[in-house]
Amino acid sequence: AARTQDVSRAKIQASIAAGLVLVNGQPAAKASQQLKAGDCVVCRLQPPPPMQALPEAIPLDIKYEDDHVIVVNKPSGMVVHVAPGHHHGTLVNALLHHCALPALDLDSSLDLDPDLGTGIGTSSSSSCSTSSLSSSSCLRPGIVHRLDKGTSGLLVVAKTEVALTRLQAQFKARTVDRLYDSITVGCPVQPNGRVETNICRDPRDRKRMAAAPYGSGRGRTAGSNYTVMAPLAGGGAALVRWKLDTGRTHQIRVHAKYIGHPLLGDDTYGGTAPAALAAVSRGSSLDSLSSLEVVEQLGRPALHARTLGFTHPVTGARLSFEQPVPEDFLRALRGLGMEAAYG
């Protein structure tokens, strides 16, 4: 079990059906076969089917483009990279079409969940020596960093290998500026704060991440700084801005939950639970039904990548971009009683 803890139940069942799981040298009859003490089980995994990223005519909101980089405003609901179960409609599909590039044969041996990939600057994002958009055989062509499916906002993509390598170096050196806007359940007591933990895979749910004590050796260290921009719904929610020191998977979502204020609409980390809706309603003019309506209309974690700043990998010029929150985020703010204009 220790050697297969990161393998899905479906993958193991498929391997059993294919006769690749042996019990005492014989193919397992079925997944429910009873084992006895001393039985020897050998499990070979069913190889994944080949994957291919096809160019698709998907509109892109491009904020900047030259021969080396593209900065896009990713809508919520769009997966960044092709992954098992997400072969179409991704940012990579759209970029291939935009750049007039052919279909790409991708490495399907990496069983990535599209919303639980590796973080910025990890070995997975830098291990492919030809991972520019123009010549790629790895899983995430040209993707220097990523945003979760439900997160909207700014993202930079490399068009050449030189750009890819130099942008990756900037993320690793933490010289890229990023600010994120969010709506939290409840309002943090301190108007400004810093969260430091390790972030690792949740041992109870492989599709989630979890906070662990900082420096514990479990997972990787992560640092986030937050500022309360405005209390909402009488303190039942808040507009909170985040500045990241690191870029771990689900970092803001995990850290928001860690401080007791999960992101509104984040069903993975408690932002849609009955207790969360009650907290939003408490002390405000909103009843629980109104709180539920705000969450349902949003339909995603309330998180938006607002600003992005980096040094151009070729010219050396400092580039900075800002993207106001989208309409669904604004509707949520208004539903929570924010009357002042916010973009």
CA angle 330, 190, 287 (to 5 degrees): 45
Q: In which residue are the tokens 């980390």 written?
A: 269
Task: Report the number of distinct structural domains present in the chain.
Answer: 3
Q: From the candidates 67, 111, 113, 148, give the one annotated as an active-site residue.
A: 148
**292 and 194 in one domain?**
yes
**86 and 39 in one domain?**
no
> Alpha-carbon distance 288 to 285, whole Å?
10
Q: Is 335 left (phi over 0), alpha (psi -120 to 50) or beta?
A: alpha
**112 and 7 in one domain?**
no
Report yes or no on 85 lying in a domain: yes
**185 and 166 in one domain?**
no
Active site residue 202: no
pLDDT of residue 136: 39
pLDDT of residue 82: 82
Instruction: Answer with the one of 135, 157, 173 that is the final residue of a domain.
Output: 173
pLDDT of residue 206: 82
pLDDT of residue 285: 66
pLDDT of residue 6: 59
Residue 203's domain comprises 181-303
**219 and 132 in one domain?**
no
Report yes or no on 84 lying in a domain: yes
**90 and 191 in one domain?**
no
**83 and 64 in one domain?**
yes
Task: Say whether 135 sits in a helix, a strand or coil.
Answer: strand
pLDDT of residue 249: 94
Tokens of 110: 């990496």
Looking up residue 251, the CATH number of its domain turns out to be 3.30.2350.10
Which of 170, 168, 150 is closest to 158 using CA atoms?
A: 168
**86 and 68 in one domain?**
yes
Which of 45, 58, 52 is closest to 84 using CA atoms?
A: 52
> Alpha-carbon distance 24 to 309, whole Å?
58
pLDDT of residue 79: 93
pLDDT of residue 126: 33
pLDDT of residue 12: 82
pLDDT of residue 61: 98
**94 and 26 in one domain?**
no
> Alpha-carbon distance 252 to 254, whole Å?
5
Half-sphere exposure of 171 (CA within 13 A, CB side): 26
Give me the average pLDDT of each 10-residue run along the chain (343 residues): 62 85 89 89 78 90 96 96 82 92 69 39 32 42 88 96 94 95 96 97 91 94 97 93 95 98 96 87 71 88 98 98 97 88 75
pLDDT of residue 84: 72
Residue 316 makes CB contacts below 8 A (sequence gap 6+) with none
Report yes or no on 230 lying in a domain: yes
